[in-house]
Amino acid sequence: MATSRSPLRYLESRKNLTGSACGLAGLALTFTGLAGAFWPVVVAGLYGAGALLAPPERPPLPDFPDPSAQLDELRGDFATLREYLAGVDLPPAAAGRLTELTELLTALLDPGWVAAVLAQDPEGIHALSRAVRQDIPEAVDTFVRTRWWTRLTPGTEPPERHLERQLTLLHEEADRLAVALRETEARRQESHTRYLEDRGRSG
C-alpha cells in the first residue's frame, strides 16, 4: 500500500510541481527556437533546477488532543483515583487533608467556566495531571506499604506524618493554581473595563 502511494506522493510534491513548471518553460524556449538541438538537455536541466529550488515538503503537525480532550481524559483518571482512594484506610488527619485536596481538585476539574480558563493554561493542566496520575496515588501507596513495615519495626517515625505533609504540599500547589486562574479572570475583567473606557473616550 505504501509503495503504490509513493509515486503519487511525488507527483503531488512541491519538487515535482516546481520542476514541471521550469520544464514547461524549457519547452517554451524550444518552441521559440532558443533551445536549439539541445532542447532535451535544457528541459531536463530546468526541471532538475526547479526541483532543487523547490521548498521542502512540510510534514503534517502531530494530531495531539486539544486541551478540552485532555481535561476530559483527566476527569476520567480522577474518577478512577477517587475509587482507589475510597478503598484505602487512612488515619483521620491524613484523611481530612486528602478530602480537602480532592474537593479542590474536583472544583478545578468540574466542567464550566473554571475548566474553560484552565484549558488555556497548559502548565496548569500538566500540574493537575501530575497530581492525579502520579503524586497522590504514589503518596498514598507509599504510606500503605511503609505502614506495614512500621508495624514490624515499632519505634520509627509514623508514616502518616509524611503523608500529611505530602498532602498539604499538594493542596498548596493546587491552591496556587486556583489563585492563578482567578487572577487570569481578574485581568480579563480589568482589560474589558479599560477597553470600554477607551472606547467611550474615543467616541
Q: How far apart are CA 203 and CA 186, in angstroms?
A: 26
User: In this structure, which amino acid lies at residue 195?
Assistant: Y
Higher pLDDT, 164 or 155: 164
User: Does pLDDT of 72 surpass 60?
Assistant: yes
Q: Helix, strand, or coil here: 48? A: helix
Question: pLDDT tens digits, residue range 89-113?
Answer: 999 999 999 999 999 999 999 888 8
pLDDT band at 25 (very low <50, low <70, confident <90, very high): low
Of 8, 7, 20, the C-alpha closest to 47 is 20
Specify whether the CB–CB gap between 134 and 166 falls below 8 A: no
Higher pLDDT, 71 or 65: 71
Q: What is the pTM of this model?
A: 0.65
Q: How far apart are CA 92 and CA 104, in angstroms?
A: 19
User: Does pLDDT of 11 surpass 50?
Assistant: no
Q: How far apart are CA 166 and CA 156, in angstroms?
A: 18
Section 122-140 average pLDDT: 94
User: In this structure, which amino acid lies at residue 137?
Assistant: P
Within the chain, how many helices (H) and strands (E) appear? Answer: 9, 0
